[in-house]
Copies of this chain bind each other. A is one copy, B any other.
């Protein structure tokens, strides 16, 4: 099985521990991006993954490639060129103080990519699944075009398509997001989102999650809608859960109260767990359980990558959340 994901890979710079930007004289160096995170999660869970992007031809760009190649993600179709890569400065939150992100992601190699950078027919040879998120088309109009092309080529190649809407207010307006994503929805088989986002992007409202899900499934031709829920008690404690909806039925996960080590990438872990589980033929209940457990475990891991094995996720799904030392 092989999943292709497409998007931006950013340099992630964060102060150690709970230090603020104003006081740090060190940054931990990592690389991140919603779609790259999904590829890494898949690779560690045991599903073959390839990540496609465009990165500058320098040692920072090469380090970005290495950061995912290290975990077994295939990188041979990453285009190299452009002048800079995006940077995400990230300050961890704690207690009442929220995390803080400063984006420096304009004029990047990926935002300035052109159609000729990616040979989708070649890329989708032997692929089973294509995943991207709403962040990719948000980065530039050109990239939105490329994204649409990728969807069309994936569909033509018989590759399943999933999209995590991932609306980011710092990147584009709700109107832009709605208008652009609307064009892609016809190609999407599995859509990942949440209730507030479906309202923001598509104006879908409902009395409860179920109604929102029904309306979404009415409006778009997707097979499966995945909705996640996050109760943010503080920057240190969240409660997360998820649900899967088809036109016929639905399945709901248990709730996990997570004590947060690093919150970023929790949604991407959900997507990775979901795709992995579906590709292994899981039913709705199994898939949502697996996806939410993957996401819960991600919150206990530093950095954006979901470094957990299938066995660890299965253990949590089976009910062992005691965190005991295995020895």
CA distance A89 to B101 in the complex (A): 20
Q: Which segment of A148-156, A180-188, A211-219, A319-327 sits at the interface?
A: A319-327
Chain B nearest Cβ from A108, distance in angstroms: 10
A59 contact set on B, CB distance < 8 A: 20-22, 91, 100, 102
A308 contact set on B, CB distance < 8 A: 97
Q: Which segment of A11-19, A120-128, A200-208, A243-251 sits at the interface?
A: A11-19
Tell me which of A96, A101, A237, A302 has the highest count of chain B C-beta atoms within 10 A of its own C-beta.
Answer: A96
Q: Which residues of A contact B (CB under 8 A)?
A: 13, 17-30, 44, 58-60, 62-63, 66-67, 69-72, 83-84, 87, 89, 91, 93-104, 106-107, 168-170, 232-237, 256, 258-261, 263-264, 293, 296-297, 299-303, 305, 307-308, 312, 316, 320-327
Further contacts, 16 of them, CB under 8 A, given A59-B100, A96-B297, A232-B323: A21-B62, A23-B303, A25-B25, A26-B28, A84-B106, A93-B300, A94-B323, A95-B296, A96-B300, A97-B301, A100-B326, A103-B327, A107-B107, A234-B321, A234-B323, A235-B323
